[in-house]
């Protein structure tokens, strides 16, 4: 929907299309190895043929692979707290980061932010299942994901290196899910989106971690038996080692 | 150095993993229990998803039980026939446990169920053990002998009697199979070896002599936790081999140190320590169930 809106906007205002963006990523592939502890990527870009002396606004949004989030709320039942209410938020990003060069509410009106999904306040599921009001569950889910470092927003993270050159550092924690990510760069003037560019990024496991994961998924029986053999072997070795000493 | 755990999909520092495994191993060597009942909550506290914590703890218990069982085997302190009979019930219990585990995970009540089950179990056993060990300590001080419990005749009225020469028993196979089943199920759902349930049950219900209890329970715990690991891997894809390896290396070293430390303490003192530890965990978990949580909401992926 966001892309459609943009397309319509670009068609409707051909004069604005002369000012545009180029952008890229410091890495288009992140490989998870045994000592992986998250990483930073840099989204950078330049504004071509600036329409005026005044500096435009840049918003960077990085979205991870979509999944369904089950959000549960505890309630007290007979003295103990149990998960009683549940909703499923469909099509939520597994990772979400929004960066801007100044506070988002100053850059554009709430309607525009919501339309393009700019900022945590504009984050919406594609659909939801459950007999409850969306807002408290969505707010709670966003809050929890923020604490986990999976959702974030930083209103100063877009740095202008010159009048037209900019970059934003994007922190990816080790718990960020594997899969395809998209980094969107939005160029705005006077609260209007002028141009948008996107780049793709893949996070994947490699080496031993990859083989272990594939093994556990593809041959779970052999994987389980191997784990047991490893445990039995370690137990046996330790009893040998310590008997002699 | 952080270690990336491929199934848990997160990084944990290797010292944390080795230290956790080592501390639990030390306790298990010292007190003669697998320590799973402590390791699972600690792993969850580290941020590891509870399904992965439960499933992976099983393989840690396999390793520490193997180490302990071999030491007992050299002393000839294992009743293999009894272990085999209990294991039969245990394997069936594991299948029931994996099924229950999947049902609980789907319903979203797993964490609450695990905590509540621990509270009931640990509270009961810890209380009984504390009373028993305090009584034994008092009896030892006053110079008297530990009071003998009256025989429970109902065990001897059951059919399918078998001789267990190593234990010097002639009893029905139904109670050992039933105990095995209950512990197998518990073991799978809670990620524990069940030593803290099985040892009292063998002593007080089956009346197996104290010298073969430890070895026999360890022998059957190896089989039960091995079965639990394989079933968790095939049904729930929740066993993290990388996590298991680090915990096990710490665990087997800690266990041997614990055995040495334990040799300097008296049996009643050890049992009282274990009782206090078990009660402490139960109270902590009970508090977690009853106190108003700081975060009412929780999120899990699909």
Given a contact cutoff of 8 angstroms between Cβ atoms, the answer to whether A55 and A158 are in contact is no
User: In the prediction, which pLDDT does B244 show?
Assistant: 94
Residue A236 has pLDDT above 80, yes or no: yes
Whether B229 has its CB under 8 Å from any CB of chain A: the answer is yes
Q: What percent of chain A has pLDDT over 70?
A: 92
Residue A15 has pLDDT above 60, yes or no: no
User: In the prediction, which pLDDT does A245 show?
Assistant: 47
Q: What is the CA radius of gyration of chain A?
A: 23
What confidence tens digit (pLDDT) does each residue in B160-181 have?
777 787 777 778 888 889 888 9
Nearest to B63 among A35, A68, A231 (CB): A231
Contact residues on chain B for A217, CB-CB shorter than 8 A: 237
The answer to whether residues A107 and A213 belong to one domain is: no
Whether B253 has its CB under 8 Å from any CB of chain A: the answer is yes
Interface of A with B in 1-40 (CB under 8 A): 32-38
Report ipTM (2 d.p.). Answer: 0.80
B297 contacts A227? CB cut-off 8 A? no
Question: Which is nearest to A199 in space by CA: A45, A75, A76?
Answer: A45
The answer to whether residues A128 and A215 belong to one domain is: no
The answer to whether residues A227 and A239 belong to one domain is: yes
Question: Which is nearest to B202 in space by CA: B224, B180, B222, B186?
Answer: B180
Question: Which is nearest to A61 in space by CA: A20, A138, A134, A114?
Answer: A114
B302 contacts A70? CB cut-off 8 A? yes
Residue B37 has pLDDT above 50, yes or no: yes
φ/ψ of B121, rounded to 5, equals -65, -55
What confidence tens digit (pLDDT) does each residue in A58-110 have?
999 999 999 888 888 888 888 888 877 889 999 899 999 999 999 999 999 99
The answer to whether residues A152 and A226 belong to one domain is: no
What does DSSP assign to residue B237? -
Whether A165 has its CB under 8 Å from any CB of chain B: the answer is no
The overall average pLDDT reported for chain B is 82
The answer to whether residues A140 and A106 belong to one domain is: yes
Residue B59 has pLDDT above 50, yes or no: yes
What confidence tens digit (pLDDT) does each residue in A26-66 have?
888 888 877 788 889 999 999 988 888 888 999 999 999 99
User: In the prediction, which pLDDT does A154 show?
Assistant: 93
A37 contacts B10? CB cut-off 8 A? no
Question: Which is nearest to A101 in space by CA: A57, A51, A48, A62?
Answer: A57
Residue B203 has pLDDT above 60, yes or no: yes
B108 contacts A83? CB cut-off 8 A? yes
Whether B263 has its CB under 8 Å from any CB of chain A: the answer is no
The answer to whether residues A198 and A230 belong to one domain is: no
Q: What is the CATH number of the domain that holds A96?
A: 2.60.40.1930
How far is it, in rounded angstroms, from Cα B284 to Cα B273?
Answer: 17
Interface of A with B in 79-138 (CB under 8 A): 79-83, 86, 88, 94, 137
SS (H, E, C) B89-139: HHHHHHHHHHHHHHHHHHHCCHHHHHHHHHHHHHHHHHHHHHHHHHHHHHH
How many residues would you count in chain A? 245
List the single residue in A with minimal CA-CA distance to B62.
Answer: A231
The answer to whether residues A82 and A191 belong to one domain is: yes
Whether A67 has its CB under 8 Å from any CB of chain B: the answer is yes
User: In the prediction, which pLDDT does A2 show?
Assistant: 57
Contact residues on chain A for B297, CB-CB shorter than 8 A: 71-74, 137, 140-141, 143-144
Contact residues on chain A for B222, CB-CB shorter than 8 A: 232
User: In the prediction, which pLDDT does A167 show?
Assistant: 93
**Angle at alpha carbon of residue A19, lines to A14 and A23, rounded to 5°:** 120
Whether A183 has its CB under 8 Å from any CB of chain B: the answer is no
What is the band of B93 on the pLDDT scale with cuts at 50, 70, 90?
A: very high
* Mean pLDDT of the B211-239 span: 87
The answer to whether residues A190 and A74 belong to one domain is: yes
Give how many domains chain A has, as a whole number: 2
User: In the prediction, which pLDDT does B137 show?
Assistant: 78
Given a contact cutoff of 8 angstroms between Cβ atoms, the answer to whether B220 and B198 are in contact is yes
φ/ψ of A49, rounded to 5, equals 50, 60
The answer to whether residues A199 and A237 belong to one domain is: no
Buried b (16+ CB within 10 A) or exposed e, A29-59: ebebebebebbebebbbbbeebeeeeebbbb
Name the 3-class secondary structure at A76.
strand
Q: What percent of chain B has pLDDT over 70?
A: 94
Whether B231 has its CB under 8 Å from any CB of chain A: the answer is yes
Q: What is the CA radius of gyration of chain B?
A: 19
SS (H, E, C) A88-154: EEEEEECCEEEEECCCHHHHCCHHHHHHHCCCHHHCCCCEEECCCCHHHHHHHHHHHHHHCCCEEEE
The answer to whether residues A148 and A240 belong to one domain is: no
Whether B42 has its CB under 8 Å from any CB of chain A: the answer is no
The strand ranges marked E within chain B are: 2-5, 10-13, 161-164, 169-172, 297-300
What is the band of A168 on the pLDDT scale with cuts at 50, 70, 90?
A: very high
What is the band of B154 on the pLDDT scale with cuts at 50, 70, 90?
A: low
State which residues form the domain around A122.
2-205
Nearest to B301 among A37, A69, A234 (CB): A69
The answer to whether residues A126 and A239 belong to one domain is: no
The first and second tokens of residue B147, run together, are: 């009071």
Residue B190 CB coordination number (10 Å)? 24
A71 contacts B299? CB cut-off 8 A? yes
What confidence tens digit (pLDDT) does each residue in A123-163 have?
888 888 888 888 889 999 999 999 888 999 999 999 999 88
Task: Give the residue, B231 or B274, on which the prediction is more confident.
Answer: B231
The answer to whether residues A27 and A100 belong to one domain is: yes
Mutate to test the interface with A, among B1, B230, B261 (most CBs of A within 10 A): B230
Question: Which is nearest to A102 in space by CA: A168, A181, A49, A39?
Answer: A168
* Mean pLDDT of the B262-282 span: 79
How far is it, in rounded angstroms, from Cα B44 to Cα B39?
Answer: 9
Nearest to A67 among B234, B241, B301 (CB): B301
Given a contact cutoff of 8 angstroms between Cβ atoms, the answer to whether B227 and B184 are in contact is yes
Nearest to A81 among B226, B289, B301 (CB): B289
């Amino acid at each position: 929907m966001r892309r459609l809106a943009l397309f319509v906007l670009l068609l409707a205002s051909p004069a604005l299309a002369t000012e545009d963006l180029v952008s890229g990523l410091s890495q288009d592939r992140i490989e998870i190895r045994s000592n992986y502890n998250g990483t930073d990527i840099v989204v950078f870009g330049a504004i071509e043929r600036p329409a005026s002396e005044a500096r435009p606004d840049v918003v960077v949004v990085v979205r991870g692979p979509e999944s369904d989030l089950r959000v549960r709320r505890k309630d007290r039942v007979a003295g103990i707290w149990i998960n009683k209410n549940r909703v499923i938020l469909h099509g939520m990003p597994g990772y979400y980061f929004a960066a801007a060069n100044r506070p988002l509410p100053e850059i554009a009106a709430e309607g525009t932010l919501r339309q393009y999904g700019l900022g945590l306040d504009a984050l919406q599921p594609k659909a939801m299942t459950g007999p409850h009001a969306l807002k408290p569950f969505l707010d709670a889910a966003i809050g929890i994901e923020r604490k986990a470092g999976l959702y974030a927003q930083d209103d100063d993270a877009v740095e202008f290196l010159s009048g037209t050159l900019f970059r934003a550092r994007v922190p990816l924690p080790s718990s960020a899910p594997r899969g395809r990510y998209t980094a969107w760069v939005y160029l705005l003037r006077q609260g209007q989106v002028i141009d948008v560019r996107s780049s793709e990024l893949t996070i994947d496991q490699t080496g031993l971690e990859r083989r272990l994961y594939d093994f556990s998924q593809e041959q779970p029986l052999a994987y389980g038996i191997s784990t047991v053999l490893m445990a039995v072997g370690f137990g046996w070795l330790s009893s040998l080692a310590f008997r002699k000493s | 150095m952080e270690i990336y755990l491929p199934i848990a999909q997160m990084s944990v520092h290797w010292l944390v993993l080795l230290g956790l495994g080592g501390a639990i191993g030390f306790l298990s060597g010292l007190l003669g229990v697998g320590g799973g009942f402590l390791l699972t909550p600690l792993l969850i506290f580290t941020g590891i998803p509870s399904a992965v914590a439960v499933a992976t703890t099983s393989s840690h218990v396999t390793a520490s039980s193997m180490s302990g069982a071999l030491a007992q085997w050299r002393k000839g302190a294992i009743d293999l026939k009894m272990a085999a009979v209990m294991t039969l019930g245990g394997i069936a219990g594991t299948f029931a446990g994996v099924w229950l585990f999947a049902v609980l995970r789907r319903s979203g009540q797993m964490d609450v169920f695990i905590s509540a089950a621990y509270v009931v179990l640990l509270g009961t056993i810890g209380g009984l053990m504390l009373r028993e060990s305090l009584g034994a300590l008092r009896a030892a001080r006053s110079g008297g002998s530990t009071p003998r419990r009256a025989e429970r005749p109902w065990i001897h009225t059951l059919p399918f009697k078998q001789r267990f020469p190593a234990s010097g028993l002639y009893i029905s196979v139904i109670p050992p199979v039933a105990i095995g089943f209950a512990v197998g199920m518990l073991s799978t759902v809670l990620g524990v070896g069940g030593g803290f349930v099985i040892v009292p049950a063998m002593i007080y219900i089956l009346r197996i002599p104290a010298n073969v209890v430890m070895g026999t329970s360890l022998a059957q715990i190896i089989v039960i936790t091995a079965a639990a690991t394989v079933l968790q891997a095939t049904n729930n894809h929740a066993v993290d081999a990388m996590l298991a390896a680090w915990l096990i290396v710490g665990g087997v070293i800690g266990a041997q140190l614990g055995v040495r430390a334990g040799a300097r303490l008296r049996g009643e003192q050890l049992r009282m320590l274990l009782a206090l530890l078990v009660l402490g965990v139960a109270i902590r978990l009970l508090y977690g169930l009853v106190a108003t949580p700081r975060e009412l909401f929780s999120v899990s992926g699909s």
